Amino acid sequence: MLALRLRDGLRHRGPDDAGAWFDQDVGVWFGQRRLSILDLSPLGHQPMHSPCGRYVLTFNGEVYNYKELRHRLESAGYTFRGESDTEVVLLACAAWGVEGAAQCFEGMFAFGLYDRAERVLWLVRDPMGIKPLYYAHRGDSFAFSSELTALLPLPWIDRSINQDALFSYFRYAYVPAPASILNSVKKLSSGTLLRFAHGEAVCSSYWDLAERVTTLRQSVNASMSLQEAADELEIRLRHSVRQHMQSDVPYGAFLSGGVDSSALVALMQSESSYPVKTFSIGFREASHDESAHARAVARHLGTEHHELILDSDEIPALVPTVAGFFDEPFADNSSIPTYLVSRFARESVTVCLSGDGGDELFGGYPRYFWAKRIEALRQRLSPGGARLAARMLQAIPATVWDHMVNPALGYRYSSAEGLAYRVRRFAAYLGCDRDAAYKNTMSVWSDPGHLLGFEAKHSLGVDAVHYPDLSWAEEMMLVDQRNYLQDDILTKVDRASMAVSLEARVPLLTHPIVEWSWQIAPSLKLADKGDRGKLVLRELLYRHIPKALIERPKQGFGMPVGKWLRGPLKDWGESLLRPADLDACGLNAKVVSSVWREHQMGLDRQATLWTVLMYRQWYQQVIGI
C-alpha cells in the first residue's frame, strides 16, 4: 500500500513504533513513525484518538510544559490514560481549540489534527520552526509530512523546480519558508497554523516574532544592569534546561567548548545528580578543531565526556550520504560534522541538548557589532566617504592584516579565518546601503541570475523583510531569528540528528526566552568596544566556568571544504560538474567550470562551489539526472 510506504520512508525519524488510521468514509489517512521519548508504553501510540472519538492526532516533537498544561486540564475535569505529552496536546486542542492550545505550548512541534465532526484538518508548527512540516495541495487532495521526500511518491506531486526558491537557495545556501524547492510543495512557516476544509487551505499566524518584537521593544528595562540581566537569564534558562531534560530515555548534550554549549552544559550539570554525558568531535586539521576546548570545559564541569577525532580521508564517502538526508538543496557544510556528532552521540543516548540560538538571540555574530559601529561611523562620513573607506580597507593585502596588524592588536579582532577575512566583511558592510547590506554580505552567489539565467520574480525569506524602526544590529538579529535560524541552523540540526534517530533539543529557543531577549537593552548583548557579543550570556557562563577556558576567537562548526575540494573530494566534485549534467539541471556550465578552475588554482571558491555540488547531488537523487 502506497500510504504505508510513505510512512515507513520516515522510519529513521521514528524507529520505535508505527501506527496508521484511515477514515474510509471521508478518505482521510494518518500515518505515524514514533521515536519514543516520554511514556514508552503503548499508551503513547499514535495516531492518538480523543476519548470522545472526535479528534485524531499525529504529533512530532515535544511540548516541555506539558505537566503544567496537564494539571490545568485535570482541574477542568479531563482525565488521562497515559503520561505522554502527545495526550496533553490532544486534549488541550479539544478543550481550548487549536489556536488557543498552540499559544499555550512551549516546545518544538509539528502536528496534524483531524476534527471528524467538522471534517477539518489542522496543521500547526512551533513558534521558532524547530520541527519541520511540509504540505501539498491540489484540488481536493492534501498531504503533509515531516520531510518533503515522503511526499514525492504521490502521483499528483509535480516535481518541477520553484525558480524563486532556487534563486534564493543560490543566494543564501538554503530554501526559505514558506517555499520549498518544488512548485507543488510548501513549508508551513514557524508560528503558523493551517486549516484545510472543503478543498481550501488557509494559513494564519498564532505567534509572530516581528509583531511580538514591536510590542516588547516598548517595555525594555533600560536601567537593568548586566548582573541583573544575567540573574534573570539564569533563572529562565535553568527552567528551560530542566524542562528539556525531561526524558524516559538516556540523554546528553553536544559540547563544543564555546559560550552557548558551555553555558547549556554548565546548567545541565548543576541540575543533575550524576555526570551528564557530553559529546564532541574534532578534526586533525587544527584550524577546524575545537575538541581541546570542549575537553577542558567538560573536565572543569565534571561531565562524562565522549570525544571522536576524525581524519579528512574519512569525509569523502560521507558527503553524498549526508547530502541525501536533506530533502531540499542545502549548502551549510557544517551539516557534516553535525551529522557526525549526532551519530556518535546516538551510540550512547537518544536525546541530546544543543546550544543553538545563542548567537542570534544575544548578538554573537560579528555582523551585529559591526553594524552598530558602522551606523556611528556613517554619521561622520558621507555615503561617498564610506565607500572610499571601504575600498581602502579592501585594497590592503591579506598578508598585512593577518601577519602584521593582527599580532599588533593582540589577535583581539581575529577569527578562525584570520583578520583579513573579517576586515573585508566589515568593508563590505561599510560600502553599501543598509537595506542592501545583509543581502550583499550574506550572499553566496552575489548574482544568482548569472548562474541560472533568470531573475527571481518574487522575493522570499530575507529579501522580503525589512525592519527600519530597529537599529541596524537589531534588524539583522530579527532577520536571522525569523529566517536563518529556521531555514538553515534548525533545518541542519533536525535532519542531521533525525537521520540517526536522535532527538536534538534547543533550550535557548523556547519562545519565552526569545521574547525576553527582546526586553533587555542592546548594550547587554553587544559591547561598545572590541568584537564582543553575548555579554549577558557570557556573564552567566563566567559564574560556572573560568573566563580563560572560554575567551578565544569565535570558530564555527565547519570543516576545511576548500582544501578537500582540491584533494579527497576532487574526483567526487568533478563527477557532479560534467557540463551536460549542469546544463540539464538548469545551471550555466561555463560559469561553474570557470569557478571550479579558479578554486583548483588556489582561489577560495568553496562556498559558491558547495551550493552547486549540493544542488547537483540533490537533483541527481530526487530528479534522477
199: left (phi over 0), alpha (psi -120 to 50) or beta: left
Distance of alpha carbon 596 from alpha carbon 570, whole angstroms: 10
For residues 457 and 165, the answer to whether their CB atoms sit within 8 Å is no
Distance of alpha carbon 145 from alpha carbon 137, whole angstroms: 12
Collapsed DSSP state (helix, strand, coil) of residue 225? coil
Distance of alpha carbon 211 from alpha carbon 177, whole angstroms: 18
**Mind spelling out the 3-state secondary structure of 36-96?**
CCCCCCHHHCCCEECCCCCEEEEEEEEECCHHHHHHHHHHCCCCCCCCCHHHHHHHHHHHH
602 is in an annotated binding site: no
Q: What are phi and psi of 384, to 5 degrees?
A: -65, -40
Q: List Cα–Cα distances, 389 to 296, 358, 414, 430, in angstroms.
A: 42, 32, 20, 8
Q: List Cα–Cα distances, 251 to 304, 339, 349, in angstroms.
A: 12, 17, 5
Q: List Cα–Cα distances, 249 to 134, 424, 451, 457, 494, in angstroms.
A: 28, 47, 48, 48, 19
354 is in an annotated binding site: yes
- Give the pairing type, strands 107-115 and 277-283: unpaired
Collapsed DSSP state (helix, strand, coil) of residue 216? helix
85 is in an annotated binding site: yes
Collapsed DSSP state (helix, strand, coil) of residue 203? strand
> Residue 33: which H helix or E strand, with range?
strand 28-34
- Residue 347 makes CB contacts below 8 A (sequence gap 6+) with none
For residues 90 and 28, the answer to whether their CB atoms sit within 8 Å is no
Q: How many CB atoms lie within 10 A of CB 599?
A: 19
**Which residue type does 311 have?**
D
Distance of alpha carbon 257 from alpha carbon 277, whole angstroms: 14
**Mind spelling out the 3-state secondary structure of 459-522?**
CCHHHHCCCCCCCHHHHHHHHHHHHHHHHHHHHHHHHHHHCCCCEEECHHHCHHHHHHHCCCCH
DSSP secondary structure letter of residue 129: -
Q: List Cα–Cα distances, 204 to 63, 98, 118, in angstroms.
A: 21, 12, 19
Distance of alpha carbon 289 from alpha carbon 283, whole angstroms: 5
> Residue 308: which H helix or E strand, with range?
strand 304-310
281 is in an annotated binding site: yes
Known binding residues are 85, 281, 354-355
Binding site for ATP, by residue number, is 281, 354-355
Binding site members for L-glutamine: 85
